[in-house]
Structure 1
């Protein structure tokens, strides 16, 4: 056992001792630690400086309550988070997630991965993540507005254009960003650089909504070409029906592939003739409905409850675009059995360690 390996085992042991009830965060760190040994063997000074021990500990964790009033006049309370993980190369940058599963472990795992992703852009930005255990599904516009305004009233104390610039994530689209930006402006004056994902009319960026989904398909296409294949003519399974999945469906279709599925937390739709991304956009972005409504509007589509990865059909490419750990080891084996030749991940850590090993 090398000195680097011994050091990494010590880092992990300390992490598990400190955060035994944060499985998503430990999993994300494990994925990183498995790859870093050659770097430490080449640079033993990193071990001497305990560089990895510092990397896996966030610089700052903020947790706060978010009281708000629902349409019935009842006072509700949710829990908000902002993990400013690492700002070594620039202001913190990372999304805000609104989903009932949000907790400290999930926010820390997302923040840790955001550090690495942002550094790969070569831009001077650090990594952060945040959100709340609030579920915008089924809430009125007024309820979402009151929640996000209360959320931003507290969050604004810790962010700023040169300090920390949040963005959207699951449950946070243009509507939520707009409400948050309005509240920040009300409290601090107009600062266009305080949030990304804003509308074009008040400081947003062109092609921002499409960027992640389109980028996933450009990567997938390049990966296939590097292996003597092409995307055109391929059958594709996509999970999710949010921003990433919707625009991944659009670009896959434009590049000549047939997208067979999209999904949400209740189930998925399957269409042998190919998913119509315009219908998905109407349901999810405009009407904020459930994906099962797709089958009511497209006669060739079928709706099924459960996970899209438990549905057996021949296909070539898997694009998980929903959430963390959505593909298990058994589902990965099933994916291979169904003929999939390539997997490209649009979500954050969508494959479990068992799935990756399969």
Structure 2
């Protein structure tokens, strides 16, 4: 166990109102223009394998999306236009819209195929690797070095707890439910409930290996930002997490419905909860992937606040924060898109049901009239 940190003077204490990132325009806080350590996210390219999500022909998807959006806006404008040539322009716009829709469909198909290829790259990390353990604190450290060490310890502890939670989901719930007879959940529902948990665990098992390696040499290197960039800038991380987040409400709905219809399943969940040392519910365990990146961001913000300008870890930390914040925003965007698609499906289903009910009522009325006429 590490000793409690010494009291910090004002030069080391995190300032809540301090800017996290270096001010590129003004230099350091003192107003001296020093662009040597200035930073702007626009200066760096994305660390994904294909920047801007390029498709196989090399055209950025964002470019095609923006052009498609412009064309569809023209279509809508032409449809609303009341001039003489409005109909002709609408027809032309529809043709262009169909062309862009086909292009968008090809892009989506290409993305699905690339996703399937990437899923095959997942490896099952079952090997026993050394845990990330900080060596005893050496003497002569500055107060800032001591604070950074304690923040690193928080990263290590929180990551260990997170990986343990993912393993508990699979070992205490997914595995028994898939092996027991008779089954509480069909194979399809089982996949729905535990969708992408294994892939997320694989990503973080690899991160743990890199983290353990860096922690073992911390006193000579004192860098952690580059490990985060290398581990979480891959598109497979975004894909695994976004699909998990988008599926989360569906998974919870399946669990709730099964608990309501099968008391034995509810009893199984209660027994597993009571058997766990912290009595954590399955729902609480499943919430942890939703909360993980916000936790990472807070920890790295604390680390950056306690990293002086000119420190070799400052720029990697800024890049890591940008990667994680961008990843979190992309997850939010994909979640919003998924929610909108779900809402559209529900509206379409409701309209379809209303139409069918109307047709059914009309048929029954006609049938009644025929019966009345015959008898």
**TM-score computed with the length of structure 1 as normaliser:** 0.23
Query: Computing the radius of gyration over CA atoms, which structure comes out larger, 1 or 2?
Result: 2
By relative contact order (CA 8 Å, sep 6+), the higher-ranking structure is 2
**TM-score computed with the length of structure 2 as normaliser:** 0.22
More strand by share: 1
